Structure 1
Amino acid sequence: MSTTTTTIATTPFDGQKPGTSGLRKRVVVFQKEHYTENFIQAIFTAMPAPGAQGATIVVGGDGRYYMRDVVQKIIRIGAANGIARFIVGQDGILSTPAASALIRKREADGGIILTASHNPGGPNADFGIKYNTRNGGPAPESVTDAIYAATRTITEYHQVTLDAPVDLTTLGCQHFAGFDVEIVDSVTDYVELTKSIFDFDLIRRFRQQSPDFSLLFDALNGVTGPYGRRIFVDELGFPESALDQCTPLEDFGGCHPDPNLTYADKLVARVEREKVALGAASDGDGDRNMVLSHDWFVTPSDSVAVIAHYATECIPYFQRQGLRGLARSMPTSCAIDRVAAAKGLEIFEVPTGWKFFGNLMDAGRLSICGEESFGTGSDHIREKDGIWAIVAWLNILAHVNQTQPAASVRSIMRDFYQTYGRNYFTRYDYEEVDADGAAQMINDLRAKGNDLVGQTINGFTVAAVNDFEYTDPIDHSVSRNQGLRVIFEDSSRIIFRLSGTGSEGATVRIYIERFDPVEFDIDAQVALKPLVDTALEVSQLSKYTGRNEPTVIT
């Protein structure tokens, strides 16, 4: 098909600085004339050497509103900047983990993922654009800084004019003057990778030998519905009734596609009502997960620690290659630290943002990692992976049931606590608060930090107050001010952090943790209430934000 290239004059927009997971704004912002085109052009301008000329990129997203329009823009602008091959998920669909896997398998030069992750979708909701580098992971700060710099100086963008939009529905390769577009099945490559990691035969036998074992997977109307159907029903043999909300919708059915106890309330209610043995959910783009049963909720901090504990016992991928190291984001509980110590492994504490794990994985020093924000994964790709975590739990349950018939999520957690003790953990989110007030709260708390040291508040004595700073052991880059930590003499922690994953205002996150080597069955909110009260007293959050209740409690 013939093409012509045009150059369009433009001017910069304020605020196009990518956060930890790309640029996220309301759809109406991205729909402003030139806004999306400016950012896409900036990505191609800032692509790491050797740059866009002759490159191959993967393109796809979570199916949210405006995604397919932006796929067409990426192809037109990318082709004008020299991209030679676009590998695009059918209908534009690719989960974030599947995109990472495809970049790595096809040795592409990077990828553009269209998602606002766990944020709502629809014409009046959120959209996002994220650039991943050739290792399959989110762009490091050096690249996102270059993209931002390009957005601030842009004067024009380039695009090819096509006779008709690219057909995103038909599998196969389409040839244009100067570039190709290959439409691939969105699911197959990811499923084959997952089958190479886990013991599907063991899980099938477990399902057949345990007819009362029930699974309920809720995709929250996000991208992982087709992946879940292919894996849980077609491959592992669970009934269709094991799936709920597994058709990707542009507005996620009006739901908030965030797999936590608040927004996945339909799943939580069904799991409890129907006595489901393993309930699970994933978010809009498929990189987050939640695991629970009718009588236990597994915190993400505990989940990654349990997977690490069992990895070499029963997961073929880790039986083949071993464990090279473990890691967590700084706010995540220290449960996985205890696993690392018991197994004699390196443990890394990194800032929030999956890109910080990538360097460690590429250097061969990290195998399993997780974030308390419902992200869990390993070095099989360079993104967190919701389906991966859920299949890991099925693999563990199948393994434990070989020697402990009728073992459950609750009993597995109980055994884990008896071995390592319990890190009680909770997170309070205050979403879309006034950004100036939230920033002032953090600044004032930072300023009075030294005065808090030595004080005893609600029975907890402050040992240290500091800003978390991380020096990457691989490239030696330094990340400062990654979260304000109040650490107590008994190792309990309170962490205050402003999140960059929202599209408006600010989100204040407060993380609270306390270790108990003896008592395992206290309700977490009861066990942590004195520390929660301390956090609110010390921060004066209500005064600065006007909020008396959190939006979400995890």
Structure 2
Amino acid sequence: MDSIKFGTSGWRAIVAEDFTVRNIRIVCQGIAQYLRQQKLGQQGILIGYDARFLGEHFAKVAAEVMAAHGIPCLICDRDTPTPAISYHVVSRKLSGGMNFSASHNSHEWNGIKFTPDWGGPALPETTKAIELRILPLLHGEHIKWLPWERAAHDGMVRHFDPQPEYLKALESLVDHDRIRNGRIRVIFDPLFGTSRHYLDEFLRQAGAKMAVLHHWRDPYFGGFRPEPTDETLQDLKETVRREGAHLGLATDGDGGRFGIVDADGTFIQANYILALLLDYLIRSRQWTGGVARSVATTHLIDAVATHHGLTIHETPVGFKYIGELLARREVVFGGEESAGMSIQGHVPEADGILAGALVA
């Protein structure tokens, strides 16, 4: 390879073609060198992975490189949603986080999502700095890693369960009483992805009656892309109708995107859900300030925001730009047409788990 480039949400490639152990080590060393240059290495990094093939192994490969550069590592003890990693980066004041995920892409893809210390997707100035460090590594510069057993013996790596604290944080953002009093019946489809035992567990604790489809890890995602679209949610739509549920919820492979099905089994486009959620949140929480949406997202959001006296910020495509505004507290809500959203007081990262809980 002549170069490795980060896209709108990290670096992605096809497994065994460009997504190889050597290239993973190269990308991780680029990140490690960037963190050390920023004097952030000692704060540690959280490393996770989604449900794809060899996720645990890739996480260990990353930890070996980080440990060789003196960066302590927390390794998620199971496949983990990206927003949960983002939450812990912020709450634990870590130097950053990494998730081995290709999000909604099909099973032959994998990727590395890098979350800097502020908790959102890495911005272009960060990824360009990492890419510059990657170039000499691609052309023969020495790559350092510490064997896993040595890293563990030296206390540089330890396992970590991110789920309990993340779900606890959601409690302050979602109206439990409304869910409990509504006695709603919900069908949830995580599409074999990382949100298993996250969104369903949260809503069950809140008092919803839950049923879950595809609630086991499948690196092939049932043969479909783990993307919550009208086409991929046929099982969810049919189950909602058959069981007489009030609502169907879905998330993508790493928990960043959401999908919503109403009581008659109709898939509701993300643009409509974003506008409805914004209106509900402004009315119920008396929000003031700004609202962010990507350039490709519906202007219904503008209409809702303007009606309530809030200002609109239009961003380029990519949740990182919305996340930056959330982190700066310039907006109270951000969403994009590809079914990503977050709110003030939460992580500056797209969170399909939060979106599903708010819709419920």
- TM-score > 0.5, shorter chain as reference: yes
> Contact between 2:327 and 2:348, CA under 8 Å: does it hold in 1?
no
Structure 2 counterpart of 1:381: 347
Give the letter for the 1:313 counterpart. R
Q: Deviations over 1:458-489 (max 9, x none)?
A: xxxxxxxxxxxxxxxxxxxxxxxxxxxxxxxx
Question: In the aligned structure 2, how far is the partner of 1:126 from the partner of 1:60?
Answer: 16
Give the letter for the 1:152 counterpart. L
Name the CA shift for 1:293/1:47 in 2 (closer, same or farther; >3 Å).
Answer: same
> Contact between 2:98 and 2:113, CA under 8 Å: does it hold in 1?
yes
Deviation at 1:275, TM superposition (A): 4.1
Question: In the aligned structure 1, how far is the partner of 2:162 from the partner of 2:282?
Answer: 30
- 194-203 vs 328-337, which moves further: 194-203
Structure 1 counterpart of 2:22: 34
Give the letter for the 1:287 counterpart. G
TM-score (norm 2): 0.92
> Contact between 2:67 and 2:157, CA under 8 Å: does it hold in 1?
no
> Contact between 2:271 and 2:298, CA under 8 Å: does it hold in 1?
yes
Structure 1 counterpart of 2:254: 285
Name the CA shift for 1:163/1:310 in 2 (closer, same or farther; >3 Å).
Answer: closer
Question: In the aligned structure 2, how far is the partner of 1:346 from the partner of 1:310?
Answer: 17
For residue 90 of structure 1, the aligned residue among 69, 77, 100 is 77
Structure 2 counterpart of 1:133: 116
Structure 1 counterpart of 2:224: 255
- Bigger RCO (CA 8 Å, 6+ sep): 2
Deviation at 1:109, TM superposition (A): 0.9
Question: In the aligned structure 2, how far is the partner of 1:41 from the partner of 1:384?
Answer: 26
Question: In the aligned structure 1, how far is the partner of 2:91 from the partner of 2:269?
Answer: 32
Q: Deviations over 1:48-85 (max 9, x none)?
A: 753454231111121211211111111110011120x2
Question: In the aligned structure 1, how far is the partner of 2:298 from the partner of 2:169?
Answer: 29
Name the CA shift for 1:228/1:360 in 2 (closer, same or farther; >3 Å).
Answer: closer
Structure 2 counterpart of 1:192: 168
> Contact between 1:226 and 1:247, CA under 8 Å: does it hold in 2?
no
> Contact between 2:199 and 2:356, CA under 8 Å: does it hold in 1?
no
Structure 2 residues without counterparts, runs of 5 or longer: none
Question: In the aligned structure 1, how far is the partner of 2:194 from the partner of 2:303?
Answer: 34
Q: Which aligned pairs between 1:37-48 and structure 2 lie closer than 5 A?
A: 37-47=25-35
Q: Which aligned pairs between 1:119-268 and structure 2 lie closer than 5 A?
A: 119-121=105-107, 125-154=108-137, 155-163=141-149, 176-177=153-154, 179-207=155-183, 213-233=184-204, 235-240=205-210, 242-268=211-237
For residue 109 of structure 1, the aligned residue among 82, 88, 95 is 95
Structure 1 residue runs of 4 or more that deviate by more than 6 Å after TM superposition? none
For residue 65 of structure 1, the aligned residue among 27, 31, 53 is 53
For residue 349 of structure 1, the aligned residue among 296, 302, 314 is 314
Structure 2 counterpart of 1:332: 297
Question: In the aligned structure 2, how far is the partner of 1:292 from the partner of 1:258?
Answer: 14
Deviation at 1:393, TM superposition (A): 1.2
> Contact between 1:29 and 1:35, CA under 8 Å: does it hold in 2?
no
Structure 2 counterpart of 1:306: 276
Give the letter for the 1:68 counterpart. E
> Contact between 2:89 and 2:118, CA under 8 Å: does it hold in 1?
yes
Structure 1 residues without counterparts, runs of 5 or longer: 1-12, 167-174, 208-212, 395-554
Question: In the aligned structure 2, how far is the partner of 1:65 from the partner of 1:294?
Answer: 35
Structure 2 counterpart of 1:392: 358
Give the letter for the 2:354 counterpart. W
Deviation at 1:259, TM superposition (A): 0.1
> Contact between 1:267 and 1:279, CA under 8 Å: does it hold in 2?
yes
Give the letter for the 1:286 counterpart. G
> RMSD of the TM alignment (CA)?
2.0
Deviation at 1:36, TM superposition (A): 1.6
Q: Aligned with 2:318: secondary structure?
A: coil
How many residues align structurally?
A: 355
Q: Aligned with 2:162: secondary structure?
A: coil
Give the letter for the 1:311 counterpart. L
> Contact between 2:9 and 2:113, CA under 8 Å: does it hold in 1?
yes
TM-score (norm 1): 0.61
Structure 2 counterpart of 1:490: none
Larger Cα Rg: Structure 1 or Structure 2?
1
Deviation at 1:248, TM superposition (A): 2.6
Structure 2 counterpart of 1:79: 67
Question: In the aligned structure 1, how far is the partner of 2:83 from the partner of 2:69?
Answer: 26
> Contact between 1:24 and 1:126, CA under 8 Å: does it hold in 2?
yes
Q: Deviations over 1:82-128 (max 9, x none)?
A: 20x2122213x22111011111110111111110001122xxx1111
> Contact between 1:368 and 1:377, CA under 8 Å: does it hold in 2?
yes
Deviation at 1:265, TM superposition (A): 1.9
Q: Aligned with 2:245: secondary structure?
A: coil
> Contact between 1:90 and 1:184, CA under 8 Å: does it hold in 2?
yes
Name the CA shift for 1:354/1:80 in 2 (closer, same or farther; >3 Å).
Answer: same
Name the CA shift for 1:306/1:49 in 2 (closer, same or farther; >3 Å).
Answer: farther
Deviation at 1:355, TM superposition (A): 0.8
> Contact between 1:27 and 1:66, CA under 8 Å: does it hold in 2?
no
Q: Aligned with 1:281: secondary structure?
A: strand
Structure 2 counterpart of 1:99: 85
> Contact between 2:226 and 2:252, CA under 8 Å: does it hold in 1?
yes
Question: In the aligned structure 1, how far is the partner of 2:321 from the partner of 2:102?
Answer: 19
Query: Where is the strand percentage greater, Structure 1 or Structure 2?
Result: 1
Name the CA shift for 1:43/1:29 in 2 (closer, same or farther; >3 Å).
Answer: farther
